[in-house]
Amino acid sequence: MMARPYSDDLRERVVALVLEGGVSCHRAAAQFDIAVSTAVNWVRRFRETGAVTPGQIGGHRPRTIQGEHEIWLAARLKERHFTLRGLVAELAERGLEADYWAVWRFVHEHGLTYKKRHWSPASRAVPMSGAAGNNG
């Protein structure tokens, strides 16, 4: 969970104290119990933009795997013999730099899951050599 930004009111009071009150960022930060770097960044933002409001936090990220790569990968998944890291490498060979999680998300959305093989004992016992198995 992401932290919420400080209120605009607090930002405005800190910036006003620094710019209009002649107080240093260090002293203003101590007075309002915030980090010095926070006060410095707020003052810088105000000087550059004329506002103290924060920039956008989060937002929509477009999918990495789109268009022709999406079509190719959907067809490739039908073969069923693949690893996620192998698919990342195959996409890179095709000119798309996708990370492991983008491929995992794509595979998961297409309803494919990893099925672990159940452990099974060896099909037959390995015979011991006659000399090693005989004690007498």
Q: What pTM, to 2 d.p., does this model score?
A: 0.47
Q: Is the pLDDT of residue 135 over 60?
A: no
Could you report the per-residue pLDDT of 57-114, keeping only the tens digit for each?
A: 778 788 889 899 999 998 998 887 888 899 999 999 999 999 999 999 998 888 876 6
Query: To the nearest whole percent, how much of the chain has pLDDT over 70?
Result: 81
Task: Give yes or no for a contact between 14 and 32, defined as CB atoms under 8 angstroms apart.
Answer: yes
In terms of C-beta density within 10 A (0-12 exposed, 13-18 middle, 19 or more buried), how is residue 114 classed? exposed
Distance of alpha carbon 120 from alpha carbon 57, whole angstroms: 51
Distance of alpha carbon 30 from alpha carbon 126, whole angstroms: 75
- How many Å from the N-terminal Cα to the C-terminal Cα in the chain? 71
List the chain domain ranges.
8-49, 67-109
